[in-house]
Amino acid sequence: MSTDPTRTYDVIVIGAGPVGENVADRTTAAGLHTVVVERELVGGECSYWACEPSKALLRPALLRADAAHVPGLDPAVKGPLDVEAVLAHRDRMSADWQDDGQVAWLASAGIELLRGHGRLAGEREVTVETPTGDTIRLRARHAVAVCTGSRAALPPLPGIEEVRPWTSREATSARRAPERLLIVGAGVVGVEMATAWQALGSRVTLLARGDRLLPRMEPFAGELVTERLREAGADVRFGTSVDGVRRVGGEVRATLSDGGQLGADEILFATGRAPRSQDIGLDHVGLTPGDWITTDDTLTVSAVPGDWLYAVGDVNQRALFTHQGKYQARVAGAVIAARAGGTPPHTGRWARHSATADTAAVPAVVFTDPEVATVGLTVEAAERAGRDVEVIDYDLGQLAGALQYRPDYRGRARILIDRDRQVVVGATFAGPGVAELLYSATVAITGEVPVDRLWHAVPAFPTLSEVWLRLLETRRDL
């Protein structure tokens, strides 16, 4: 093992996923010499084990579901999906788990890449253990950004590791469809993977500890997804958890909370996320290894003095979505550049250097059949926050655009309007194709567009976006 002399940069970024890449891009564009440290693949979880492969698995399933309900197309899509072709497409969308393209992009942007395991070693100091066993010491003139993301959290069941359970990584990179797949978890990963693998030929059993799917969203969203999963052949069970699990030969055997037993070829635990912060040197800067890293709205780590340490993306637990982490990266990059130039950050609600959307307008799409799209508050969240809101619902199946999309269209839309300010503060859509409605709702919330002004935003006919007019008309007629 050898240790090179300390290398000095303006900015050090630990983690080259989409968040780290965007922090580095912003600081480099601002003229700051930036290095990114990565121990796995450049591009991170989203590119290889989450967003890209999961949507590649889901797209054929959702397209077939739509086509099967369109006159003239329905006879053409009655057969099973070509599983090998779907998995090959998934592999292409994941770049065959090779990061050459993203490494080339870093170089084209003028960002230096250092492969190895980065750890904080003190104020503005990072050590990197390279794949060859060497140790390289780095020092930052201005900032260190921790962008290490999150990992799947497994429940503390005895012997769970010996079972070789699937997490989101295995579920999105599997080489074949298991005959029987048991999924534990009612959140986004659970319902998306149930949708994908049921369509690819697996017999899926989905266990939800609570009484509904997608428990953080409006109840009607989970109800519609449950209905379609069951119609597709999935076994969806509520009020059920796994108390024990073991593998006997090639079979997984799960003991359920009601005392029952279930057998499967594979078991996927989609039971939450944990920060990738266990072995990154947090103890060297007064933080606790394995904890989420708390920041203020400038993404500066609150508990570390000196305004030099930033935590961006999943690792700070503010909003665990790739797009939200990239938003934070844009904010953090601007903050780092401002401070490096001697300018205090401009903070405050919706200011350039404040990640306001993390608390006011986080958009999310669940790519199930039907799709679910949500941004801002739900009714339950508004009640917890003591917000006085009007709740306006509309049956999406009444739209001409929806009936053009699928003659038997089933879906629902809801907006929440702040009674005092008369602006939209939450929106949820559930139905085929609703993902493309989400940006308009996000703009309405972040722009704090008065409801009276929304009357003048004319939707094209016949499109799903006409739901905005119908929601406003429903409110008028209440």
Phi, psi of 325 (to 5 degrees): -65, -40
Is the backbone peptide bond immediately before 363 cis, with ω within 30 degrees of 0?
A: no
For residue 419, the tally of other CB atoms under 10 A from its CB is 10
The number of residues in the chain equals 478
pLDDT of residue 94: 97
Q: What does the DSSP 8-state code read for residue 131?
A: T
Rounded to 10 degrees, what is the CA torsion of 308, 106, 96, 114? Answer: -60
Distance CA 266, CA 171 (A): 10
With contact defined as beta carbons under 8 Å apart, do 81 and 58 qualify?
A: no
pLDDT of residue 130: 97
Phi-psi region of 371 (alpha: psi -120 to 50; beta: other; left: phi over 0): beta
Q: Which residues pair with 301 in a beta bridge?
A: 295
Amino acid occupying residue 333: G
With contact defined as beta carbons under 8 Å apart, do 226 and 213 qualify?
A: yes
Distance CA 377, CA 434 (A): 18
Distance CA 197, CA 193 (A): 6
Cα three-residue angle 390-395-401, rounded to 5 degrees: 120
Task: Report strand pairing: 34-38 vs 112-115.
Answer: parallel
Is the backbone peptide bond immediately before 462 cis, with ω within 30 degrees of 0?
A: yes
Calculate helix-pair angle for 83-93, 51-67, nearest 10 degrees.
140
pLDDT of residue 77: 87
Q: How far apart are the first and last CA of the chain?
A: 74
Calculate helix-pair angle for 322-340, 18-29, nearest 10 degrees.
30
Distance CA 470, CA 474 (A): 6
pLDDT of residue 76: 84
pTM, to two decimals: 0.96
| Residues contacting 379, CB < 8 A, separation 6+ | 218, 389, 391, 414, 416, 426
10 Å CB burial of residue 105 (0-12, 13-18, 19+) is middle
Strands, E, within 364-432: which ranges?
364-366, 372-376, 389-395, 412-418, 424-430
Q: Which two structure tokens, joined as six digits, stand for 382?
A: 């508004």
With contact defined as beta carbons under 8 Å apart, do 118 and 128 qualify?
A: yes
Q: Which residues pair with 119 in a beta bridge?
A: 127
Q: What does the DSSP 8-state code read for residue 290?
A: T
Phi, psi of 146 (to 5 degrees): -90, 115
What are the distances in angstroms from CA 19 to CA 110, 140, 312? 17, 19, 7
pLDDT one digit per residue (tens) for the chain, 478 residues: 555 679 999 999 999 999 999 999 999 999 999 999 999 999 999 999 999 999 999 999 999 999 999 999 988 888 899 999 999 999 999 999 999 999 999 999 999 999 999 999 999 999 999 999 999 999 999 999 999 999 999 999 988 999 999 999 999 999 999 999 999 999 999 999 999 999 999 999 999 999 999 999 999 999 999 999 999 999 999 999 999 999 998 899 999 999 999 999 999 999 999 999 999 999 999 999 999 999 999 999 999 999 999 999 999 999 999 999 999 999 999 999 999 999 999 999 999 999 999 999 999 999 999 999 999 999 999 999 999 999 999 999 999 999 999 999 999 999 999 999 999 999 999 999 999 999 999 999 999 999 999 999 999 999 999 999 999 999 987 7
pLDDT of residue 159: 85
With contact defined as beta carbons under 8 Å apart, do 320 and 376 qualify?
A: no
pLDDT of residue 1: 53
What are the distances in angstroms from CA 363 to CA 17, 48, 400? 20, 22, 26
Amino acid occupying residue 9: Y
